[in-house]
Amino acid sequence: MISPKIQDAINEQINAEFWSAYLYLSMGMHFESEGHSGIANWFRIQFKEEQAHAEIFINYLIARGGRVELKPVAAVPTTWESPLAAFQDTLAHEEKVTALINKLYALAESEHDYATRGKLDWFVSEQVEEEETAQNLIGRLKLIGDNGLALFMLDQELAARTYTVPSPLQSNN
């Protein structure tokens, strides 16, 4: 059985993951309406990944005998002045998520909950990847500047991104 402190913290993380999904869906819809369907696709894939992250936590909490308590998802921004601004917001957000995962990891350690700590190892690695990807896209967008052709090419590249089911969910499908 999972401790009440860990259960509450995981429920908070589930809400944070759904908020992240909602944020990325909002970004995708914004860029779709701006004619950047590739950037929109990138954010729609992020939306799916964040939903999957929530599902991983949900499955884990249930497997440990915990109770999932879904809470309202707070409103998210709906417009960005540029793709660069959106990816800068993405990086800032992913840094916040990293801090949340680290806090949850520290709680699991303090509670001597090694199963939860082990589950969180995947998320720690995932956050490194998320931040690195956002940093790389920010760097590329800064290089692009006002070059419309280069932005078009990046948009085409991002249109090719496809969703991959995260490994912790692959055995559940």
Q: How many CB atoms lie within 10 A of CB 5?
A: 13
- What pLDDT digit, counting tens, does each position of 5-33 carry? 999 999 999 999 999 999 999 999 999 99
Q: What are phi and psi of 46, to 5 degrees?
A: -60, -40
pTM of the model: 0.94
Question: Domains along the chain?
Answer: 4-167 (1.20.1260.10)
- What pLDDT digit, counting tens, does each position of 104-157 carry? 999 999 999 999 999 999 999 999 999 999 999 999 999 999 999 999 999 999
